[in-house]
Structures are given as structure tokens and as C-alpha cells.
Amino acid sequence: MSDQMPFDIDVETMTRFVMEQGRKAKGTGEFTQLLNSLLTAIKAISCAVRKAGLAHLYGMAGSVNVTGDEVKKLDVLSNDLVINMLKSSYSTCILVSEENKDAIIVDPEKRGKYLVCFDPLDGSSNIDCLSAIGTIFGIYRKDCTESLTESDALEPGRNMVAAGYALYGSATLIALSTGHGVNFFMLDPSIGEFILVEQDVKIKKKGTIYSLNEGYAKYFDPALTEYIQQKKFPEDGSAPYSARYIGSMVADVHRTLKYGGIFMYPANKKTPKGKLRLLYECNPMAFIMEQAGGVATTGTQPILDVKPESIHQRVPLIMGSPDDVEEYLSFVKKHQTTG
């Protein structure tokens, strides 16, 4: 809300923004329905994150998810919230979650025309130390026939109609793109609505920050090792890059989007296929990054062009300012030539 007056009488909420976009596109309102249900889940997760200590939601749930990560109590709560809200929105037909081994096929009587892939609580290893965490989602339009199977969820990122993430940090923020740029919405707790705070967000052409887990340096390939060395000790006499790494993808990518630079979770000797999941981590973030004028690649092809082979497929990821990503790719090409 505005600081100049007690109430903003013409506030641009996320729901209003999406309805206006839908009206221009002559839509049916089903997408707005989906978004509203997802927003309810995100508000509830935001509330749970802030009350986690008091509500005894810290710690492990005592299980491991399908991708091998230990599951926290907040993971379980967040996953249940998103699934239940999306199912009851009557706008989805298939759901893919990091926390579920198989794709969820929505009951015929509740089906709509959208496929949603999501990570309900990204960066959950940071929950107990109060670092920023988030929710990631990608939305596809589907021909929802009676005979849907898991293979119907294997859509390349280029087919997405919308993507976004929620960041639970010093405030709760949603970055959303419906294919026409990126917009930021911040939760105003006083009215329980997400308010448009930044429109048509663009990433800098070149930044001064690199972000990756250098604890795996012994496993890096020669191209990455040389690139990082160049960022620390530039030969042209320019200032070295700053290193920033939180270990929560949403927080690290959001910082990269705001300040420019490069975020990397590449393949290495320990994880030769990469670690981040394509459908519900890399694709939505790549969609957002490209819509903001950035680049997202596996190191060999654009992330959004990868054809998924399984719902929990992992891929290498490098994304950020176009000049920074292109510079990294020049080191990859150089070592491919010399190799």
C-alpha cells in the first residue's frame, strides 16, 4: 500500500493484473482461477514459514523424497497445500511435484486444461537456519483427454504458457511471467494481497557477481575452473567478480535477476548429469530468465529446448546476464576444441 495515504484506492493486485491480461487475450478465466488457487497456497506457505518455529515445523519429517533429498516437515505441508489447492481449482489435469514419485493425474470430474510442474519448497535445507526459500512453478496448456498418463507431462519448456516463483525472504514476493515480460508482486500482509511493485523486469546485460557452490571445485571440469579463475583474477586489469551463494535456487536466481551476473549449477565429476531438476526447477526459472532478457543453458543447448525423458530428470544449469553466460560458453567451446 502507498506510504502517502492510508489506503491505495486503485491498487494493482496480482489477480487484477492477470484478469486484465486474460481479458485482452479473450480467455475463459480458467488461468486466473488456477493462479488464484496457487496464490492461496503460497500465502499459506508464507504464513507457515514465518510461524515454523512456534508451530514446531522445523526439522525432518523422517523420510527421503524421490530425488534423494531428506524431507523436512515444511516440505510435506507445502506440497500438500499446493496439490490440494490446484486439484480443487478445477483448472488442472496433471500435477508434477518434486515430492511425488509419480505424476498426479487429476480426477476427471475436477479436470481443467493445465499441467503444472512445481517445487513446493525449494531450498528447504535452509529452513532451520532461516535463510530465504521459495516455491517454483511452470504452467502448460494441455488437451486433457480421458486417457492421460505421466508421459503427457513430458513437455519441453518452450511450450510453457506461464512460470514463476515465490520467494519467502524479508518479504514474500512472486515473480510471474505469462510470456510477456516479468513482473514482481509483493505480499501486503495488511490486506492479504500480492501488489504489483515492479513491471517488465530486465536483467543487466553484464553483472559483477558469480554464484555457484565452490565446495565442489575438485570436481569441476577445466572450462569451469578456468572461467572461475578468470572471474577472480581478471587478466585485463578489471575488478574481480564478487562471489555470492546461498544454496537456495530461488534466492540465488532472484539476486542474479535483480543485480545481474551468472548463476551456475553445472555438471561435474560427481553429478555428470547435473543436479537440478528440469521440469520444476530449471524450466520455470529459464522461462523467467529469458523473459527478462537473460540466457539459460545446459552448456550445450538452451534449457527450454531440452526434451524431457522423465519427470525427475536432472540437467546442468547456467543462467544469468547474456554477456556473462556467453563468456562462460566461450570457455566451454575453447576446451572442446583443445580437447
Give yes or no for a contact between 72 and 127, defined as CB atoms under 8 angstroms apart. yes
Q: Which residue in the block uniquely carries the three cell numbers 481443467?
A: 112
| CA contacts within 13 A on the Cβ side of 55 | 11
Catalytic residue among 35, 38, 119, 317: 119
327 is catalytic: no
200 is catalytic: no
221 is catalytic: no
305 is catalytic: no
128 is catalytic: no
Provide the b/e sequence for 157-168 (b: ≥16 CB within 10 Å). Answer: beebebbbbbbb
Catalytic residue among 39, 75, 115, 257: 75
Catalytic residue among 122, 152, 290, 324: 122
99 is catalytic: yes
Catalytic residue among 35, 57, 98, 276: 98
Catalytic residue among 34, 57, 99, 324: 99
Catalytic residue among 281, 304, 317, 324: 281
Catalytic residue among 57, 74, 77, 121: 121
281 is catalytic: yes
Direct distance between the N- and C-terminal alpha carbons of the chain, in angstroms, rounded to an integer: 57
226 is catalytic: no
**Active site members:** 69, 75, 98-99, 119, 121-122, 281
